[in-house]
Amino acid sequence: MTLIKQSRMLLLVLLSLAAFAGVILLKGRKQPRAVGGIVSLAPNITEILFELGAGDQITGATDYCDYPAEAKAIPRVGSLGSPNIELLLAMQPRLVLAANFEHKNHPEILRGSGIEVIELRIETIDDVFAAVDRLGQITGAGGRATEMNRKLQACLDEAKSLYEGTPLERRPTVYIEIASKPIMTVGRRSFVHDIIELAGGVNVAGGLDALYPVVNPETVVQWNPQVMLVGSMTQQSSEDLGRRIGWGGIDALQNGRVINDLSPDLYLRPGPRLATGVLELARRLYRPGAQRSEN
């Protein structure tokens, strides 16, 4: 898999994102028509809306809006950041919620047609809390948003309780691999770095400024992490990692502390499951035999 394709996949994963009223013919193709609903252009936004009980207000979503299962039935409007603008205009939604637009004129085109557009940058845990509040107001689910944020905070508090009082120098060092060809990890400016810290770990790549730096295999050997978290999209087992030159002596592999069964959506998609990801990672770091629990 090329670096460009992997980076694209990651962005689709990090940037996280029903019914329709009828069908019209647009340039020779049948397209869904959904007047007055919400179109979500990010998987994490879609997740938040469903968690707020507003899934029935979503009348369009991207190809990558796949959670919860009900989201897969929502009419597709194209790719993340680059929707089919003609299709969006034909659907006549009242509101479009986006993380970003690759074509900077798209928001102007939509607004020029009387469609409200809100861009939500959700890149940290704090951004998730703020997005929940705002989307709660937009959908009339303010009370549910408050309860949702309370539960998210409870997850973070429970995670903290597992390592509170543990000195920084005694906390486990963690290496996260989000791509394997080339090897890509997370630097200190990535929200995933914050996830590691909130779970009580120390990011071995925390000294790197890049969001998602490409590193040499020898560098990982030098870091000698105590725990490895390997995203399933890298398709690397402990045996695969151990076959890399010099990696067999890394502490994490020596001690069987490779985590490769944790859904990347729990720590790479900045949405409502991020707090669950923090808690699950904290359990793995401080209670290695803990039963996995993905929500």
Quote the CA–CA distance of 11 and 42 in Å, as a whole number. Answer: 11
pLDDT tens digits for 90-122?
999 999 999 989 899 999 999 999 999 999 988
Quote the CA–CA distance of 264 and 97 in Å, as a whole number. Answer: 23
Q: State which CATH number among 3.40.50.1980, 3.80.30.20, 3.90.700.10, 3.30.1490.480 fits the domain covering 3-139.
A: 3.40.50.1980
**Token pair of 124 as six digits:** 């940290």
CATH 3.40.50.1980 boundaries in the chain:
3-139, 169-286
pLDDT of 15 higher than 50: no
pLDDT of 238 higher than 90: no
Quote the CA–CA distance of 178 and 10 in Å, as a whole number. Answer: 8
Environment class of residue 33 by beta-carbon count within 10 Å: exposed (0-12), middle (13-18) or buried (19+)? Answer: middle
pLDDT tens digits for 57-100?
999 999 999 999 999 999 999 998 889 999 999 999 999 999 98
pLDDT of residue 20: 26
Region 207-229: mean pLDDT is 96
Helices H, strands E: what count in the chain?
12, 14
Region 15-41: mean pLDDT is 45
pLDDT of residue 8: 47
Query: Contact at 8 Å (CB) between 252 and 175?
Result: yes
pLDDT of 11 higher than 80: no
Region 20-39: mean pLDDT is 43
Quote the CA–CA distance of 239 and 228 in Å, as a whole number. Answer: 13
pLDDT tens digits for 137-165?
999 999 999 999 999 999 999 999 999 99
CATH number at 169-286: 3.40.50.1980
